[in-house]
């Protein structure tokens, strides 16, 4: 059985999609959802799913207590699903090749600090791109720069706005993240 810890900062629709696809499968165990945001929608979702939640602040995230908590669960994979803080170096080192992230654009374009959520789609539309998509990658010390595991594209129509693009990209995220997680854990 593989133990997966889920990290999210917002609505948690990716967490919901992952749980929908994998939680019923006895090969996977989801003991904990971690969030930096006490108002994150993912907290309610965790309650509904009967999964424990840990809400943490910046100080805790940087402290040995945090890694002790993770180590306690002996996770096979840390999954960042709409998690917006940079992963500290000590954590990348301790869980090298065991942290995956999803980004709502075709990296290396439209990645890096400040490029999250709606900001990404606004930048893509403003740049007049003809396509966008999703990137799922391993996490290293630099924002959005680890080894790519999967990219999928969507066509941008002239009528698309950041909102309509966000919806198309999110649908791809929901379709592919769980599959990539399964592959990584093989």
The residues carrying an active-site annotation are 103
Q: Is 41 helix (H, G, I), strand (E, B) or coil?
A: helix
**Minimum distance of ligand GAR from residue 126's CB (angstroms):** 16
- Please identify which residue in 53, 173, 176, 184 interacts with ligand GAR, judged by CB under 6 A: 173
Tell me if 102 contacts ligand GAR by CB under 6 A.
yes
The β-bridge relationship of strands 131-138 and 148-155 is antiparallel
Give, as ranges, the residues between 108 and 127 that touch ligand GAR (CB under 6 A): 116-117, 120
Query: Which range touches ligand GAR (CB under 6 A), out of 6-14, 29-37, 50-58, 92-100?
Result: 6-14
Tell me if 82 contacts ligand GAR by CB under 6 A.
yes
- Measure the CA–CA gap between 183 and 186, rounded to whole angstroms: 5
Nearer to ligand GAR by Cβ, of 7 and 28: the residue is: 7
Q: Which residue stretches of the chain are H helix?
A: 13-22, 41-49, 58-61, 64-73, 89-94, 117-126, 162-184
Q: Which of 72, 84, 75 is nearest to 7 (CA)?
A: 84
Tell me if 8 contacts ligand GAR by CB under 6 A.
yes
Q: How many residues does the chain have?
A: 186
Q: Which residues bind ligand GAR (CB under 6 A)?
A: 8, 10-14, 81-82, 102-104, 116-117, 120, 170, 173
């Amino acid at each position: 059985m593989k133990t997966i810890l889920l990290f999210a900062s917002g609505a948690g629709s990716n967490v919901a999609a992952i749980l929908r696809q994998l939680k019923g499968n006895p090969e996977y165990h989801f003991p904990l959802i971690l969030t930096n945001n006490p108002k994150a929608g993912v907290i309610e979702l965790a309650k509904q799913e009967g999964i424990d939640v840990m809400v943490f602040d910046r100080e805790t995230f940087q402290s040995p207590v945090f890694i002790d908590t993770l180590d306690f669960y002996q996770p096979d994979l840390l999954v960042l699903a709409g998690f917006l803080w940079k992963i500290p170096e000590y954590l990348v080192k301790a869980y090298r090749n065991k942290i995956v992230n999803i980004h709502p654009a075709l990296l290396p374009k439209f990645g890096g600090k400040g490029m999250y959520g709606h900001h990404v789609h606004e930048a893509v539309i403003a740049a007049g791109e003809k396509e966008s998509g999703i990137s799922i990658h391993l996490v290293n010390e630099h924002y959005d720069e680890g080894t790519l595991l999967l990219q999928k594209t969507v066509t941008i129509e002239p009528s698309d706005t950041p909102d309509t693009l966000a919806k198309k990209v999110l649908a791809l995220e929901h379709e592919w993240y769980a599959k990539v997680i399964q592959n990584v854990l093989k």
